[in-house]
Chain A
Amino acid sequence: MNETGNLKIKFTLNGKPIEYMVKPNWTLLDLLRKELSVLSPKEGCSRGDCGACTVLLNGKPVNSCLVLAPQIDGKEIVTVEGLIEDKEFKALKETFIEKGAVQCGFCTPGIIVSAVALLREKGNPTVQDIEEALEGNLCRCTGYIRIIEAVKQAAEKLQKTS
């Protein structure tokens, strides 16, 4: 910490090591969007209700609006920008498009991040597993029907290729 109370933190973002001076009250979402121009996490509620800002912290999905920037010191952060070559992400990308699971798209990156974490943990998730994984991600457009189908189909695709 320096005299202004700011802290230097080190973390990896989408595989790249980063050192950054942060204010202690910045959230991870502020750091990503406003400082680092990583824009796939969206700000929907700023209190952990909607899941639009979901990112992976050490592989686990978290609401980045509920994590303070200093807390990520020494940790690994992954957003959609860092998942482009990931096999779970690729499968989800295809099925979300094929199944028409995207309408306005504001909640989509957060939902896909949650779904990536699920598919890494469970190759063959049940509908209940999917519901539990996505319970923290709100969507006001789709009624979730196509989203469930897309995640299920992505899992099946991955099972076939593995």
Chain B
Amino acid sequence: MGYLEELLVKEGLSLVGKRVSRPDALDKVLGRPLFTADKLTRGMLWAKIVRSKYPHAIIKRIDKGKALGVPGVLTVLTAEDIPGENQIGYAIPDQPLLAMDKVRFVGEPVAVVVAENEEAAEKGAELVEIEYESLPAVFDPLEALKPVAPRIHESGNIATTTIIRKGDVEKGFREADVIVENTYKTQRQEHAYLETETVIAVPEINKVTILACMQSPWLIRRMVAKVLGYKQSKVRVIELPAGGAFGGKDDMIPMIAPIAALAAVKTGKPVFLMFKRDETFEASNKRHPSIIRYKSGATKDGKLVAVEIEIIYETGAYANRGPFVLWRATAHAAGPYEVPNVKVDGKLVYTNRVFSGSFRGFGDPQIHFAAESQMDELAAKLGMDPVEFRLKNILKPGLTTTCGQVVDQSVGVEEALRKLAEKINWEKRKREIEEYNRESKRKLKGIGVACAYHGISTSRGAPDWSAAAVIINEDGTITYKGGICRLGQGSLIGHAKIVAEILGVPLSYIQIEGPDTDAIPEARPTHGSRGLMTGGTAAADAASKLRRNIVRVASEMLECKTEDIEIKDALIYVKPDPSRNIPFSEAAKELYVRGYETAAYGFYRAPKRFFDPKTGLGVAYGVYVYIVNIAEVEVDTWTGQVKVERVHTAADVGKAIDPDLIEQQFHGAIAQGLGLTLTEDIVFSDGKILNNNYTDYVIPTVKDRVEVPTVVLVEQPYKGAAFGAKGVAEAALIPTPPAITNAIRHATGIRFKELPVTPEKVYFALKKRRGEKS
């Protein structure tokens, strides 16, 4: 039996599956200096980015003279100072580190001022003179698609396209008794993490070290090496805990660490670079705005027969992660249902606005908003209950996804939906609400359901792996070196629980260390809900290797067979006679004395998968996390205000390594989904963002909080991961917008197809329905 199979059947677990209090909480409560900005020391230089004020313009001339005259300013760096490649495009090489000949959005980095202090850096940045020749700009993706539109890139305004052709949609629609067709739109969302992007670069001899909040240490290493013209071994990246990340720091830190590194290498001094809040709003990636035309057909007995979907995702000035975001949306376009005939066409479109990118859900919230709105509209047309209609079509083992992938294991969406509906008494609750609404004059209540699925980690058969390291110290303590970043989600706590479980020691024995590219091989990024699953499996691999050594040395010490050794609570004993025992620490010391290996690297490798880009068919993801949300709302028909009273949630998590950490992720994801649904929207004027602060860009406050009274965890294990666990960090956000808008539909009868659903929109929609003029 391999170690993964052994773990799946392991009995008497002491940590896995149990709630623990977070080992990182105390330092955070005490406000200890954990974060990048807390590491600022005297003698560090300040870097300030000079940004484009134009949405689309040619750079005619850059004059550094006045800036260099500011006392304390040491240097001003532009594209021509870059020793390596001036290219940081992630999927497509379309994005310079510092703009060279032209700028494509307001906020694009053009130069960087390096000074002895913050004031001088800021003053210098104001005095860098850049002469532009303004070009016509395009701010709307539909405009950008027109042949007359200004060209943002030489290749045109379409960054990439996607397709899926499964079955025959024309035949499918001929079989349909009901057809629903709608266009949905979603907006640009800002991550709004409390800690802005912050990087420290320290020049070493022939080397440079980066310290930062981050999600992708090895990508940062690649980007810094590329920009400086260094070998990867000459760049060391050390991860520091992030004050929130949500995908934003996955894209952004690899784009700004090279700027800090360039400044450090040019000046020979450590450099500190921190975005101000308005910079984060104006120049950091956002959730892709979308326009989705969605046509669905079902038979009168409630079977989905076809979907035809056109997706436009606006990527802004640069493609960044857009091709992967669009692909993910395409691959999940039909929702967690089996649909025999699927046609999807996706376009990723450039505009002269800040680039889009990774954000919790990575393209799936937008497409599920459309897909799950359609499901309720079909159910309404069929006169069917939304839960009942979904259950008739829901994915089960042996059925196929949007892109024809047969899902064979850990497909607990049916169980999640059934259990949640039962637990909250869906039918009864719905009836109670309808009765309430018959009596109520001003306030209307509603209940809505939405399901979602989300492929874990990377897609389309791309190679995927992770790594970790475990050291058993001479006193029996364990150092765990994770490859997954600390964003607040607690993946490394999950890993440490896995390591402690396998080695038979309490969690307090494990010292958790974040990624360091000089300490472990590449573990790949912390995104795609992969941190726990891929990193935790690598941790289990390393711990399993060391357990074998501990068992061997203990069997020598206790003079028994290795099969008879058991380890629990750091005590190693002989199963048939537990009085024969030694502490874990003694065995640890003996590992060193007797020459056993005391450290091990662990690896995770995704199984090889097949994917055909020509049809969009194949194995898109190794495994999916499934989630169901049920939202209850109250709509004030006088003001248009929507109050989300509660969201119930259920998910197939494979195996809950820590049910409490999972619940924490659900809470945060639902809150972010709430903001996406009701309030958050980036507003522009001529390409410039107007609401570049927390006053004008409204994220949920404590008063907007949504209770999550019901959490159901379904555990259908995934055999490819340690203990069968899948990731959950993004999951609960994805069905939140459609669950809420389906509830609003239930309350008011009105289908909102554009996010955010602001009080104004609700107010005027209600007024229009009453036949009043606005």
Report which A residues bind B (CB closer than 8 A).
33-34, 39-47, 49-50, 52, 79-81, 84, 92-93, 96-98, 100, 102-109, 112, 130-131, 134-135, 137-148
Contacts and interface: CB of A to CB of B under 8 A. Distances in A.
A148 B195 CA distance: 22
Given A39-B31, A47-B695, 12 more contacts: A39-B32, A47-B694, A49-B693, A80-B31, A93-B30, A104-B28, A104-B488, A105-B29, A131-B702, A139-B702, A144-B701, A145-B707
Nearest to B486: A104
Nearest to A145: B667
Contacts of A137: 702
Contact of A97 (B29, B33, B699): B29
Contact of A46 (B195, B276, B663, B702): B276
Contacts of B663: 100
**Closest CB pairs A-B (n = 4):** A40-B31, A105-B28, A104-B488, A106-B243
A154 B242 CA distance: 27
14 contacts: A40-B31, A42-B31, A49-B693, A84-B30, A103-B489, A103-B664, A106-B243, A109-B31, A135-B702, A140-B193, A140-B671, A140-B699, A142-B671, A145-B705
Interface string B234-261: 0000000111111000000000000000
A137 B702 CA distance: 8
A54 B260 CA distance: 29
A contacts with B: majority SS: loop
B250 to A, nearest CB: 15
B664 A105 contact: no
A140 B29 CA distance: 16
Interface string B16-44: 00000110111111111111011010000
A142 B277 contact: no
A71 B671 CA distance: 37
A140 B668 contact: yes
Contact of B40 (A34, A42, A92): A34
A144 B702 contact: yes
B277 A44 contact: yes
Given A131-B703, A139-B194, A103 B40 contact: no
A97 to B, nearest CB: 4
Contacts of B30: 40, 80, 84, 93, 109
A104 B699 contact: no
B635 interface: no
Contact of B22 (A84, A97, A112): A97
A105 B25 contact: yes
Contact of B29 (A49, A93, A135): A93
B660 interface: yes
Contacts of B130: none
A2 B4 CA distance: 71
B623 interface: no
A146 B664 contact: yes
A103 B26 contact: no
B contacts with A: majority SS: loop
A134 B702 CA distance: 7
Contacts of A52: 194
Contact of A100 (B21, B241, B242): B21
Contacts of B351: none
Contacts of A45: 277, 693-694
A145 B575 CA distance: 45
Contact of B195 (A34, A49, A106): A106
A153 B29 CA distance: 16
Contacts of A143: 667-668, 670-671, 700, 705-706, 708
B487 interface: yes
A93 B192 CA distance: 26
Contacts of A147: 702
Contacts of B40: 34
B55 to A, nearest CB: 25
B78 interface: no
A131 to B, nearest CB: 5
A107 B699 CA distance: 14
B490 interface: yes
Contact of B667 (A102, A105, A112, A146): A146
B356 interface: no
A58 B469 CA distance: 49
A140 B31 contact: no
Given A49-B695, A104-B243, A104-B488, A97 B21 contact: yes
Contact of B37 (A42, A81, A108): A42
Given A39-B38, A97-B21, A141 B31 contact: no
A89 to B, nearest CB: 9
Contacts of B33: 39
Contact of A43 (B37, B242, B488, B668): B37
Nearest to B487: A104
A41 B695 CA distance: 20
Nearest to B243: A106
B643 to A, nearest CB: 14
B742 interface: no
B694 A148 contact: no
A21 B743 CA distance: 59
A29 to B, nearest CB: 11
A45 B242 CA distance: 16
B35 A100 contact: no
Interface string B252-296: 000000000000000000000000110000000000000000000
Contacts of A34: 40
A42 B195 contact: yes
Contact of A105 (B37, B243, B245, B670): B243
Nearest to A40: B31
A44 B699 contact: no
Contacts of A50: 194, 694
A84 to B, nearest CB: 7
Contacts of B489: 103
B244 A141 contact: yes
A44 B701 CA distance: 15
B672 interface: yes
A34 B43 CA distance: 12
A102 B195 contact: no
Contacts of A106: 35, 193-195, 243-244, 488
B693 A47 contact: yes
A131 B277 CA distance: 25
A93 B27 CA distance: 10
Given A45-B694, A103-B488, A106-B194, A140 B244 contact: yes
B193 A81 contact: no
Nearest to A139: B194
A53 to B, nearest CB: 10
B244 A144 contact: no
B693 to A, nearest CB: 6
Contacts of A135: 701-703
Contacts of A49: 277, 693-695
Contacts of A145: 667, 705, 707-708
Contacts of A109: 29-31
A69 B668 CA distance: 35
Contacts of B26: 93, 97
Contact of A44 (B195, B706, B708): B195
Contacts of A98: 21
Interface in B634-662: 660-661
Given A97-B26, A134-B702, A42 B35 contact: yes
Which of A84, A92, A141 has most chain B Cβ within 10 Å?
Answer: A141
A109 to B, nearest CB: 4
